[in-house]
Amino acid sequence: MKAFAMNGAGNAFILIDARGAAAPLALTPGEIMALAQVHPFDQLLALEADGGADARLRVWNCDGGEVGACGNGARAAAWLMFQDHAQNTLQMASLGGRLSARRLSEGGAEVDLGPARLDWRDIPLARAPDTARMDYAVDLPGGGRLDGPGAVSMGNPHVVFFVDDPDALPLDVIGPGVEHDALFPDRVNAGFARVLAPDLIRLRVWERGAGLTQACGTGAAAALVAACRQGRTGREAVIRADGGDLPVRWTEDGHVHLAGPVELEREIALPDGLGRLSR
């Protein structure tokens, strides 16, 4: 069983390849948070055996909570599996739904994150607004407010505000309030986007359970869908995150496809006694 430090456009991961393990990993929130102190990460990923797919992908945020989806993490996991096999496509099971990936000619991986979920019950929200442009607003420190965001689920919940300058916003101040707002019963990933061109979006994301990260793959997918629904872009754009560019496509069948850079940084040693890993 091996573990690797990886990143996707700066979105930092520890990926545990547990496909040969006899049982699913049993990790406590305390163990995950302790591991994050030794090897800092945004998300912990695990590949496990799955009888109906090439692997099962599991995802935990650095606060120890297991979540349904991680777009850049799915790309990193697919990239790692493509190094082992000559196949050009693969399937991964996940809490957020089935994911498919294809090998790109330049050596990367594009992941089909599945359909964007737009119904308020699927996101989920605590009430039934127009999810394309919600009657929801956030007051800014020092005056001003952000309103009219779009809401999307990409296997995890997202709200996306369109703003004049994402880089000028104090996301460490306003992000936690949005994440924990009662409108979002499962908490929410909060995106702050500016459309620079019909095919280019600048995006910063406050991730639930992880805070401000260099990139968020499902956040990039949600930003494109929200922008397209508000008539700001077409169905394909590059999402410019702090850590790099993420090409996103929202196809006519409703599925959202995510590409972008992946880096394998190093193999790491896991602490003895971590969950069931050493048993």
Measured CA to CA, the distance from residue 59 to residue 56 in angstroms comes to 10
Residue 3 has pLDDT above 50, yes or no: yes
Measured CA to CA, the distance from residue 241 to residue 219 in angstroms comes to 10
Q: Which of 55, 70, 80, 239 is catalytic?
A: 70
Helices (H) and strands (E) in the chain, counts: 4, 19
Per-residue model confidence (pLDDT) at position 84 = 84
Give the mean model confidence (pLDDT) for residues 95-108.
Answer: 89
Q: Answer for the pair 49, 55: CB distance below 8 angstroms, yes or no.
A: yes
Task: Report the mean per-residue pLDDT for the chain.
Answer: 94
Q: Catalytic: 70?
A: yes
Token pair in block for residue 187: 């908490």
Domain annotation for the chain: domains and CATH numbers: 2-114+262-268 (3.10.310.10), 137-253 (3.10.310.10)
Per-residue model confidence (pLDDT) at position 48 = 96
User: Which run of H or E residues covers position 34?
Assistant: helix 29-38
Per-residue model confidence (pLDDT) at position 170 = 96
Own/partner long-range contacts of 246-249 (Cβ < 8 Å, ≥24 apart): 246/9, 246/72, 246/215, 246/217, 246/220, 248/220, 248/221, 248/223, 248/224
Per-residue model confidence (pLDDT) at position 271 = 84
Residue linked to tokens 């394309």: 132
- Model confidence at 276, pLDDT cuts 50, 70, 90, reads low
The fraction of the chain above a pLDDT of 70, given in percent, is 98
- Model confidence at 85, pLDDT cuts 50, 70, 90, reads confident
Per-residue model confidence (pLDDT) at position 243 = 95
Give the mean model confidence (pLDDT) for residues 71-80.
Answer: 96
The fraction of the chain above a pLDDT of 90, given in percent, is 89
- Model confidence at 279, pLDDT cuts 50, 70, 90, reads very low
Give the mean model confidence (pLDDT) for residues 174-187.
Answer: 98
Residue linked to tokens 């305390």: 30
Per-residue model confidence (pLDDT) at position 274 = 74
Q: Which of 14, 32, 160, 216 is catalytic?
A: 216
The pLDDT tens digits for 103-141 are 998 778 999 999 999 999 999 999 999 999 999 999 999
The pLDDT tens digits for 211-254 are 999 999 999 999 999 999 999 999 999 999 999 999 999 999 99
Higher model confidence: residue 276 or residue 59? 59
- Model confidence at 278, pLDDT cuts 50, 70, 90, reads very low
